[in-house]
Amino acid sequence: MFKFAVLILAVVAITSARQLGAPEDDTENDNITVDTLGKILTEAEIHLRVKSIENVQKQVVGGVKYLVQFVSEDNHRCLATWIVKPWESPKPEDVHVSCK
């Protein structure tokens, strides 16, 4: 009976714990606005205009990786990703965008 209880507790702990290293919704995404994303894309020489932001996620990797789903002004759904390493530089690194 004791082994069964321990097994149940372990299963509950695993399923209720968030996955380490997995992207999480950024509920405090005040720092990623349409203007901010536009500036990041412009600095990376990516010529897309942002109409709206749909979702922002963060993932802790070798810095903070941002995953931003947005709609471009020509109504394409896009995903922008970049990494910020604030201890090295406040500028985003490895900026990539893909659109459908």
**Structural domain spans, the chain:** 26-99
Cβ proximity of 73 and 51 under 8 Å: yes
pLDDT band, residue 31 (cuts 50/70/90): confident
* Cα–Cα separations (whole angstroms), residue 14 to 8, 11, 18: 10, 5, 8
pLDDT tens-place string over residues 34-76:
999 999 999 999 999 999 999 999 999 889 999 999 999 999 9
**Rounded Cα–Cα distance for residues 76 and 12 (Å):** 40
Between residues 98 and 3, the one the model is more confident about: 98
Please, which residues bridge with residue 27 across strands?
Answer: none
Burial class (CB in 10 A: 0-12, 13-18, 19+), 85: middle
What fold is seen in the domain 26-99? Nuclear Transport Factor 2; Chain: A, (3.10.450)
For 45-59, b/e burial (b = at least 16 CB within 10 A) is eeebebeebeebbbb
Q: What is the per-residue pLDDT for 64? A: 92
Which residues, 6 or more positions from 16, have their beta carbon under 8 angstroms from its beta carbon?
A: none
